[in-house]
Amino acid sequence: MNKNNPNQIGLKCGINSMTETRKVKQIEVFALSCAVDGGPVSTLALMPVRNGLLIRIEDEHGAFGWGEAWCNYPPKGNVAKLNLMQDPIGPMLVGRDVSDWRGVRPKLENELARMMIHTGEFGPFAHCLAAIDMAVADMAARVAGVPMSRMLAEDPLAQAQVYASSPSAEAPEELAARLTSEGHSGVKIKIGFDPERDRDVLSRFRAHDSQGMFVGVDANQNWRVGQAITAISDLAGFDLGFVEEPIMADAPRADWVRVAQLVDVPLAGGENVTSASQFADHVTTGSLKVIQPDVAKWGGISGCFDAGRHALAHGAGVTLHYMGTALGLAASFHVLAALKADGRVELDANPNPLRTDLGDIALKPTNGYVPLPEGAGFGFVPDLEALKRFSVATITIKE
pLDDT digits (tens, 9 = 90+) for 113-135: 999 999 999 999 999 999 999 99
**For residue 123, how many other CB atoms are within 10 A of its CB?**
16
pLDDT-derived band of residue 17, with 50, 70 and 90 as boundaries? Answer: low
* Pairing relationship of beta strands 317-318 and 290-291 according to DSSP bridges: parallel
In which residue ranges of the chain is CATH 3.20.20.120 found?
A: 150-371
Contact 346, 379 (CB under 8 A): no
Q: What percent of the chain has pLDDT over 70?
A: 96
CATH of span 24-148+384-398:
3.30.390.10
What local confidence, expressed as pLDDT, does residue 298 receive? 99
Tell me: pLDDT of 384 over 80: yes
Tens digit of pLDDT for each residue in 130-180? Answer: 999 999 999 999 999 999 999 999 999 999 999 999 999 999 999 999 999
In which residue ranges of the chain is CATH 3.30.390.10 found?
A: 24-148+384-398
Q: Is 346 exposed, middle or buried (CB count within 10 Å of its CB: 0-12, 13-18, 19+)?
A: buried
Tell me: pLDDT of 311 over 50: yes
What is the rounded average pLDDT of the residues 179-195?
Answer: 97
Q: How far is CA 181 from CA 163, 351, 352, 395, in A?
A: 14, 18, 20, 42
Task: Tell me yes or no: is domain 150-371 CATH 2.60.260.20.
Answer: no
What is the rounded CA–CA span in Å between residue 253 and residue 58? 41
pLDDT-derived band of residue 6, with 50, 70 and 90 as boundaries? Answer: very low
Tens digit of pLDDT for each residue in 342-366? Answer: 999 999 999 999 999 999 999 999 9
Task: Enter the DSSP assignment of 216.
Answer: E
